[in-house]
Structure 1
Amino acid sequence: MDNSAKFIGWAAGIAVVAAVIVFMYVGTSTPSETGPITIGFIAPLTGDVASIGSVARTATELAVEEINSAGGIDGRQLNVVYEDGQCSATPANNAATKLINADRVIAIIGGVCSSETAAFAPTAMQNKIVVISECSSAPNLSKTGKYFFRNYPSDAYQGKYAAEHAYNMLGARNAALIFHQTDWGTGIKDVFKQRFTELGGNIVVEDGSPQEARDYRTALSKVKVANPDYIYAPTYPEGGTVLLRQIKEMGINSKILAGDAWSDTRLQKDVASFDLDILYVESKGNVTDEFKSKLLAKTGGDQVPLCAPQVYDATYILAEALKKAGTDPDKLADAMRATKYDGVSGHIEFDANGDMTVAEYIVKRIENGTAAQVQ
């Protein structure tokens, strides 16, 4: 055999091996139709919002334990791969890329922060991965795509409610806006501003800071001069604690109204001695005593944090849709859209954008290290 014949034979052998490898890869590149069904989870397990994200993981684990104990998804166990989105765009998108390409998930629960979800959702949509977020509320997420859902109301509702409550119920006519420049903070601030000014209110200071900011004194110097009735402060908990401390130190007399992130129990305890008038708005839930008991038995805490009931419900909603539709992404999305579910957080239905069809809110006052409803 001459050298050319040897080369041809060698090349043919390589081609056969390559074809086998490609066949094996393609044959395993889609989720198996037997065995466990793997989904992903993205939330801030470290950083500013870890107190919410870590309990969201616990609530998800609780739901999965119950689902699997009851037979899983038509006999198939539900498996979850947990990733830390850090309430930040790049880590969240990296987490989603891993979940989709390496873990071969068919759906993702999360994120908690709108900045997480806004970052990874386009990647998920391109890969036809169903996403259900239990806590991301930025208005700009409403047009994310066919495979996106959230069982927490858009801030198009919360920001409007906060503005109307401030103007109509609290008598505020002048407000300062101190906010985090994130998808959530900027989005809800814009809604509040629009509605508050429509009602006849005036915005006397508007100042945004990065989420990691820990010095608000420049903005607060403007607030002290303007002396508004209220400071509207959609910030995350760690920054919120610093903001409140500096309001106290600077002797600012304005009252404070914040967003739902201030339901964080650590913030409430940290500001117990500040003697400030602090209110915040949060979604009205229907948390059952049974769920509260089960969750607190696992966390060792004394309160159910923001979005824990919602992520528990999100896990069940996804499981029910999987039972009806299987893992085909289009059928799964259709089943999700048809959801009518009464969960521990209330009644859940989705509109054409995957948003909640109903949004109800309450106002709570932070006092003596805890929070109590005032309306």
Structure 2
Amino acid sequence: MKKKFLALILALGVISGILTGCGGKEEVKEDVIKIGVFEPLTGENGGGGSQEVDGIKYANKVYPEVLGKKVELVIVDNKSDKAEASVAATRLVEKEKVAAVIGSYGSGVSIAAGDIFKNAKVPAMGASCTNPMVTEGNEFYFRTCFLDPFQGKVMAQYAIEKGNKKAAIITQIGDDYSTGLGNFFKEAFTKLGGEIVYHGEFQTNEQDFNSILTNVKASGAEVIFAPSSIASAGLIIKQTRALGIEAQIMAGDTWENVAIIDVAGESAEGVVISTFFDEHNTLATEEAKKFVKGFKEYLGGPDEIIPAVASLGYDAYVVILNAIKQAGSTDGEAIRKALVDMKGVEGVTGVYSFDENGDAKKDMAVIKIVKDGKFQYIDTVVVK
């Protein structure tokens, strides 16, 4: 009798362990939908990555649930490094079991992680990764930003319209964003009748640009296009002006960061960039109008400046949530199909649908200039 009683106790213990160890944990997971946030919080792109994360966090605050469940953000730091990107991406899909991923700031790390998301069939929504290679051949990678060929064309057109016929390009070796955008600017600028008189390249973490800039000065360039990281931008600007070079300095979206102005100081005055969003854009959506007021309060008050990449991070979250809602599921294949079929989902920077590559169908860019120590809106450019 004692043996039977002992056996019964042991059996109940095993069943209890199964329910607690498996069923209990599973029950908690069923109440939460995990979305991975794959961004650089450290390294040379840490500043931009942190801004993007701010937009994602705010979107999560505005829209905290989907399918009747709480959305939990799982934030990982890819450290602005391609090798670390693979580690961070693997953690999200294998350990955290996220339903989808948002990120990353930086095309290089996005490309590096692409196959990991693809093989796991976890949809990824890039926010500001603009290099065409991010989504090429990857049916599980999408993005909310415009692409570098478009951005290069916008900036080349702006340079020509301002009367500049000779351009110098400065790009960062091994940086997919920098080299890609530099080449797209070169192609567009020459097609519009301009001439590339010099193309200089530098290594990551380089701080002395005087050799390159001496060649720029000798070339007679009227405009300098330097799509580099935040870490190098302020130094390039400052050293350009220190050599007495008066050429117009221009760059792409990565330069929209106050850290650049902090480093360059007065030398930053007149720098022109292309970017994704500005609160003064008269073509803004209704979602954008709500976002501006709410996000400023979230950041600390009405005088706060809204980084364009934060608006893209917000949009990436909104789009993913809509896809999960339309799919009625957290299954990766179902979410991917919902993204492919998506039409008319309104975000801050536009109304979303995606082409055959997973790229947002966009035809608009914002031009800003550094004036009085701030990035200020110049114009909204629409390219058909």
TM-score range, shorter chain: 0.7 to 0.9
Aligned to 2:346: 342
- Map 1:117-266 to 2 at 5 A: 117-167=110-160, 169-181=161-173, 182-266=175-259
Give the SS at the match of 1:307. Answer: helix
Against the structure 1 CA distance between its residues 53 and 31, is the aligned structure 2 distance closer, same or farther, given a 3 Å change threshold? farther
Answering whether residue 366 of structure 2 is matched by residue 374 of structure 1, we say no
Measured after TM superposition, the shift of residue 269 of structure 1 is 4.1
CA distance in structure 2 between the partners assigned to 1:144 and 1:298 by the alignment: 38
1:216-242: per-residue Cα shift (whole Å, max 9, x none)? 111111001112010011012221000
Of 362, 365, 371, the residue aligned with 2:369 is 365
Measured after TM superposition, the shift of residue 30 of structure 1 is 10
One-letter amino acid of the counterpart of residue 332, structure 1: I
- Map 1:10-49 to 2 at 5 A: 34-49=30-45
Choose 209-218 or 238-247, whichever is displaced more.
Answer: 209-218
Measured after TM superposition, the shift of residue 42 of structure 1 is 1.1
Measured after TM superposition, the shift of residue 31 of structure 1 is 11
Choose 247-256 or 260-269, whichever is displaced more.
Answer: 260-269
Give the SS at the match of 1:271. Answer: helix
Aligned to 1:75: 68
Count of residue pairs brought into register by the alignment: 350
CA distance in structure 2 between the partners assigned to 1:265 and 1:254 by the alignment: 22
Aligned to 1:64: 60
CA distance in structure 1 between the partners assigned to 2:341 and 2:355 by the alignment: 9
Give the SS at the match of 1:358. Answer: coil
Aligned to 1:14: none
One-letter amino acid of the counterpart of residue 177, structure 1: I
Of 264, 267, 274, the residue aligned with 2:260 is 267
Measured after TM superposition, the shift of residue 262 of structure 1 is 1.5
- Contact in 2 for aligned 1:342/1:348 (Cα 8 Å): yes
CA distance in structure 1 between the partners assigned to 2:75 and 2:134 by the alignment: 22
Aligned to 1:9: none
Aligned to 2:49: 53
Measured after TM superposition, the shift of residue 64 of structure 1 is 1.5
CA distance in structure 2 between the partners assigned to 1:275 and 1:305 by the alignment: 17
One-letter amino acid of the counterpart of residue 58, structure 1: D
- Contact in 2 for aligned 1:362/1:373 (Cα 8 Å): yes
Identity of aligned residues (%): 26
Measured after TM superposition, the shift of residue 341 of structure 1 is 1.1
One-letter amino acid of the counterpart of residue 307, structure 1: V
One-letter amino acid of the counterpart of residue 334, structure 1: K
Aligned to 2:333: 330
CA distance in structure 1 between the partners assigned to 2:146 and 2:354 by the alignment: 10
1:128-161: per-residue Cα shift (whole Å, max 9, x none)? 1100011100122231411110000111110111
Choose 179-188 or 297-306, whichever is displaced more.
Answer: 297-306
One-letter amino acid of the counterpart of residue 44, structure 1: P
- Contact in 1 for aligned 2:277/2:311 (Cα 8 Å): no
Choose 109-118 or 316-325, whichever is displaced more.
Answer: 316-325
- Contact in 2 for aligned 1:278/1:365 (Cα 8 Å): yes
- Contact in 2 for aligned 1:138/1:183 (Cα 8 Å): yes
Measured after TM superposition, the shift of residue 56 of structure 1 is 1.9
1:292-313: per-residue Cα shift (whole Å, max 9, x none)? 2322333337211121111112
- Contact in 1 for aligned 2:104/2:129 (Cα 8 Å): yes
One-letter amino acid of the counterpart of residue 172, structure 1: N
One-letter amino acid of the counterpart of residue 299, structure 2: T
Aligned to 1:101: 94
CA distance in structure 2 between the partners assigned to 1:272 and 1:195 by the alignment: 31
Against the structure 1 CA distance between its residues 334 and 130, is the aligned structure 2 distance closer, same or farther, given a 3 Å change threshold? same
CA distance in structure 2 between the partners assigned to 1:370 and 1:144 by the alignment: 39
CA distance in structure 2 between the partners assigned to 1:374 and 1:153 by the alignment: 19
Measured after TM superposition, the shift of residue 244 of structure 1 is 0.7
CA distance in structure 2 between the partners assigned to 1:238 and 1:31 by the alignment: 45
Against the structure 1 CA distance between its residues 348 and 275, is the aligned structure 2 distance closer, same or farther, given a 3 Å change threshold? closer
CA distance in structure 2 between the partners assigned to 1:30 and 1:188 by the alignment: 46
CA distance in structure 1 between the partners assigned to 2:199 and 2:193 by the alignment: 17
- Contact in 2 for aligned 1:31/1:105 (Cα 8 Å): no
Q: TM-score, normalised by structure 2?
A: 0.85
Root-mean-square deviation (Å): 2.5
CA distance in structure 2 between the partners assigned to 1:374 and 1:63 by the alignment: 27
Of 307, 322, 344, the residue aligned with 1:320 is 322
- Contact in 1 for aligned 2:235/2:264 (Cα 8 Å): no
- Contact in 2 for aligned 1:272/1:367 (Cα 8 Å): no
CA distance in structure 2 between the partners assigned to 1:40 and 1:216 by the alignment: 38
1:164-214: per-residue Cα shift (whole Å, max 9, x none)? 2212x1121111001223111111111111111122221111112233222
Aligned to 1:356: 360
The runs of 5 or more residues in structure 2 that have no matched partner are 1-17, 279-283, 380-384
Aligned to 2:4: none
- Contact in 2 for aligned 1:180/1:186 (Cα 8 Å): yes
